[in-house]
Amino acid sequence: MMYTTQMDAAKRGIITKEMEIVAKKENMDVEVLRGLIAQGKVVIPANKNHKALDPEGIGEGLRTKINVNLGISKDCYNIDKEMEKVKTALDMKVEAIMDLSSYGKTEEFRRRLVEMSPAMIGTVPMYDAVGFYDKELKDITAEEFLKVVQKHAEDGVDFVTIHAGINRQTAEVFKRNKRLTNIVSRGGSLLYAWMELNNEENPFFKYYDELLDICEKYDLTLSLGDACRPGSIHDATDTSQIQELLVLGELTLRAWERNVQVIIEGPGHMPINEIAANVLIEKKLCHGAPFYVLGPIVTDIAPGYDHITSAIGGALAASHGVDFLCYVTPAEHLRLPNLEDMKEGIIAAKIAAHAGDLGKNIKGAKDRDYAMSKARQELNWEKMFELAIDPEKAIRYRKESQPQHEDSCTMCGKMCSMRNMNKVMEGKNINILREDD
């Protein structure tokens, strides 16, 4: 039986090869997974033209996934350097890479990325439009915006961020309710500017059905962008953010009618005490669609350390039901991240995702922690390194400061609690000041 998208197949009772792969990875019954996809609570972004893809699921009951942002810009135009970052990110087993390229040969970079990447690939076609047509923003037509989405879909990207919720109504709410940092979403700000300059409706909202035609044809997952995400703690959970979320909820239902898979994007900057409520609001207003957040960053005062501020917010958000974390690097708000920044951001996001999985009792999430604790109790250093999120760093730290006794470390030496408790539990003596008998 033929089907158009993963959601169409799920509604028809068809188990796709992608569903089988994801169910095995998640240790989940494939029929349960199919049911969640049919309801829109889980997505498998899998463009029909992405032949190298090793599919992953995002949504309810699944492991929290992470996304890495990469791409070339006018100020840092070096495709080879970006490809080095891509290869490293793939080696670090990230589940998704977003190509945010905004200058030059974006098509070449995007095609190379899709051709080599087993991870799902996302883009923001809006970023590409100005360079693609070599026209000023104001002069790009609605039809031309849709053609860029069509091009990205043909090239095999698995999901696209589309800021369709910043329509004329949302824009009027934004104007009436002043913000400290206005619209910080790059794509959202460009669309708002286009609307103001042309006195027209958002083309992605006005021609949403045509957008869905493209998505249905290629099984392109819609990541409905949050143009009004808060860019500061001050603006969190404000009227503009909630107004846009109401629109995104309606757009979600329209997409599901066409069997188009949907992810909802979220904040942004947010105080820690508002995160749980934001997850609940999104899940309610957007009918349980998977939730994808940038951070959230829980304080505005840590430039250079925003991989930490975002990991704090991401862990809490994931524990309350967020399904997909966009990594944040130490370079956030400062510059394009380099290779080391990217690696630090990936590790921080992986920690946040796993901590969130522990909090929401994802099946099997605790197994690795149990094994690590057992290895620590046994003072099995090799096993500890094997289980570590970043084995390379753990091994380096151990080698940089060698203890006198191999069954301890230079922090505690022979006062090591694990070492001494093992001896006592075995009925042995403890010699702290003298050599063992």
* The predicted structure's pLDDT at residue 362: 97
The answer to whether 187 is a known ligand-binding residue is: yes
The answer to whether 333 is a known ligand-binding residue is: yes
* CB neighbour class for 361 (10 Å; exposed up to 12, middle 13-18, buried from 19): exposed
* Euclidean distance between CA atoms 406 and 218, whole angstroms: 57
* Euclidean distance between CA atoms 263 and 293, whole angstroms: 10
Considering the segment(s) 6-359 as one domain, its CATH architecture is: Alpha-Beta Barrel (3.20)
**Amino acid at residue number 205:** F
The answer to whether 349 is a known ligand-binding residue is: no
Which of 322, 310, 313 has its CA nearest to residue 263?
322
The answer to whether 179 is a known ligand-binding residue is: no
* The predicted structure's pLDDT at residue 437: 54
The answer to whether 163 is a known ligand-binding residue is: yes
* The predicted structure's pLDDT at residue 436: 63
The answer to whether 335 is a known ligand-binding residue is: no
What pTM does this model have? 0.95
The answer to whether 320 is a known ligand-binding residue is: no
* Euclidean distance between CA atoms 363 and 29, whole angstroms: 12
Determine the distance from the C-alpha atom of residue 104 to the mean position of all C-alpha atoms in its chain, rounded to a whole number.
Answer: 25
The answer to whether 269 is a known ligand-binding residue is: yes
The answer to whether 95 is a known ligand-binding residue is: no
* The predicted structure's pLDDT at residue 192: 98
The answer to whether 50 is a known ligand-binding residue is: no
User: What DSSP state is assigned to residue 297?
Assistant: B
Q: Which residues of 93-115 are buried (b: 16+ CB within 10 A; e: fewer)?
A: ebbbbbbbbbbeebeebbebbbe
The answer to whether 76 is a known ligand-binding residue is: no
* Euclidean distance between CA atoms 96 and 360, whole angstroms: 22
The answer to whether 416 is a known ligand-binding residue is: yes
**What's the number of CA atoms in the CB half-sphere (13 Å) around residue 242?**
11
Residue 124 near residue 135 (C-beta atoms within 8 A) = no
Which value, in Å, is the radius of gyration of the alpha carbons in the chain? 24
Distances (CA, A) of 239 to 123, 235, 245, 289: 28, 9, 10, 21
* The predicted structure's pLDDT at residue 380: 95
Residue 18 near residue 55 (C-beta atoms within 8 A) = yes
Tell me which residue has tokens 């070339």: 72
The answer to whether 229 is a known ligand-binding residue is: yes
Which of 295, 281, 283 has its CA nearest to residue 252?
283
Q: Which two tokens stand for residue 352?
A: 């946040």
Q: What is the DSSP string of 193-231?
A: HHHHHHT---HHHHTHHHHHHHHHHHTPEEEE--TT--S
The answer to whether 226 is a known ligand-binding residue is: yes
According to CATH, where is 3.20.20.540 located in the chain?
6-359
User: What DSSP state is assigned to residue 22?
Assistant: H
Q: Which two tokens stand for residue 40?
A: 């829109």
Backbone angles phi, psi at 375, to 5 degrees: -65, -35
The answer to whether 215 is a known ligand-binding residue is: no
Within 62-177, residue ranges assigned H as helices are 79-91, 106-116, 125-133, 142-155, 168-176
Residues constituting the chain:
437
* The predicted structure's pLDDT at residue 132: 82
The answer to whether 412 is a known ligand-binding residue is: yes
Residue 121 near residue 114 (C-beta atoms within 8 A) = yes
pLDDT, one tens digit for every residue, the chain (437 residues): 689 999 999 999 999 999 999 999 999 999 999 999 999 999 999 999 999 999 999 999 999 999 999 987 777 677 888 899 999 999 999 999 999 887 767 888 899 999 999 999 999 999 888 878 888 999 999 999 999 999 999 999 999 999 999 999 999 999 999 999 999 999 999 999 999 999 999 999 999 999 999 999 999 999 999 999 999 999 999 999 999 999 999 999 999 999 999 999 999 999 999 999 999 999 999 999 999 999 999 999 999 999 999 999 999 999 999 999 999 999 999 998 999 999 999 999 999 999 999 999 999 999 999 999 999 999 999 999 999 999 999 999 999 998 887 878 888 888 889 988 998 899 988 887 777 65
